[in-house]
Amino acid sequence: MQQIVLIPAYQPGLRLLKLVEELHGSGSAVLVIDDGSGSSYDDIFNRAKSRATVLRYEPNRGKGEALRYGLSYIKERYPAPYIVTTADSDGQHRTQDIIRVGSIAEHHPDSLVLGKRFLDKSAPLKSRLGNGLTRALYHLVTGRKIYETQTGLRAFSDRQIERFIKLPGHRYEYEIDMMLVSSDVDIIEEEIQTVYFDNNAGTHFRAFEDTVSLNKEFFRYKIPSFIAAAVDYLWFILTYLLSGNLILSNLLAGLVSRSVKYPLNQKVFFAEKATIERYLITAFVIIVLDTFALWGLTAIGMNVYTAKLISGILMIFVSILIRKIYMSVKYRK
């Protein structure tokens, strides 16, 4: 199967040329995207052209835009099947690790393979702190435990390229979106060795701005859930005021809110790619449990509107638990 290595590059050093040379020697097709580095870097990119396809544009648009640009080019120019492996241009990823991660993806074409860095004390502090924060948030919103959420070394088959092309994001948040949209597929982590030069001085990652941008994606990912919760509560109040029937009002509110959430997930915010069958089963379980919880809380004398808020919060944790159980069963080795 064709192995294609996609390298987004912004103002790269000579290490890019060494990486391109080694990858070319391994038999991989190499695609380098010059993300608006400027004329000062003409020599490096011109030299890279002897061993790679080099695409250039101005001005700088961000790593996410470079990756999406490269993926679109690959989809148009390369016949399937193939494996795309993304790698950084600064020499952090060893050639043997890039090839190995791509080879694993070849054997698991429906999976996303991540090069997992071991972030010990030799890694820059901002890398360890940033990865720890996004790791915790990823687990919170998806129910999945992934150690490495910010690695630039990733591999996947042509089967997944279309949805990655459609993702928004221009800078590093694009890579978080890749993780979020892949939360329902098998994610394989392969440990790699990361080489840091001068305490990662060559990185263009902005510690504060890009960390904020990365982590706000988790909240955007949950927007459909927030909207559905608001619809659920407001529809319950309206129906209950009109009918006075607790159970009927809650069942109707649940049905309306879930019918709102699914299209938002699928088409507007790309948050989940769950099948309609799985979504309906999960929605049914949540609605029934929510109704029982609401009935129980009001039965012990709690105000109905307060009880509805509490039962809704409880269902958030139930939903996370259901996702964890689903992932455990689906990907149990």
Cβ distance 90 to 12 under 8 Å? Answer: yes
Residue 91 CA to residue 236 CA, distance in Å, equals 56
pTM of the predicted structure, to 2 decimals: 0.67
Tokens matching residue 275: 């099948």
Q: CATH for 2-221?
A: 3.90.550.10
Residue 75 CA to residue 225 CA, distance in Å, equals 33
Unique residue bearing structure tokens 């950084």: 88
Helix (H) or strand (E) holding 71: helix 63-77
Between the alpha carbon of residue 250 and those of residues 222, 281, 287, 307, the distances in Å are 22, 17, 8, 11
DSSP string, 297-314: HHHTT--HHHHHHHHHHH
Q: pLDDT truncated to tens, each residue of the chain (333 aa)?
A: 899 999 999 999 999 999 999 999 999 999 999 999 999 999 999 999 999 999 999 999 989 999 999 999 999 999 999 999 999 998 889 999 999 999 999 999 999 999 987 655 555 555 566 666 777 777 676 767 788 777 889 999 999 999 899 887 777 778 888 887 887 788 899 999 877 545 444 554 444 454 555 566 566 666 777 888 889 999 999 999 999 999 999 999 999 988 887 777 665 444 444 566 767 788 888 899 999 999 999 999 999 999 999 998 888 777 766 665 655 445 444
Phi-psi region of 181 (alpha: psi -120 to 50; beta: other; left: phi over 0): alpha
Cβ atoms of 20 and 7 within 8 Å: the answer is yes
Enumerate the CATH 3.90.550.10 domain ranges in the chain, comma separated.
2-221
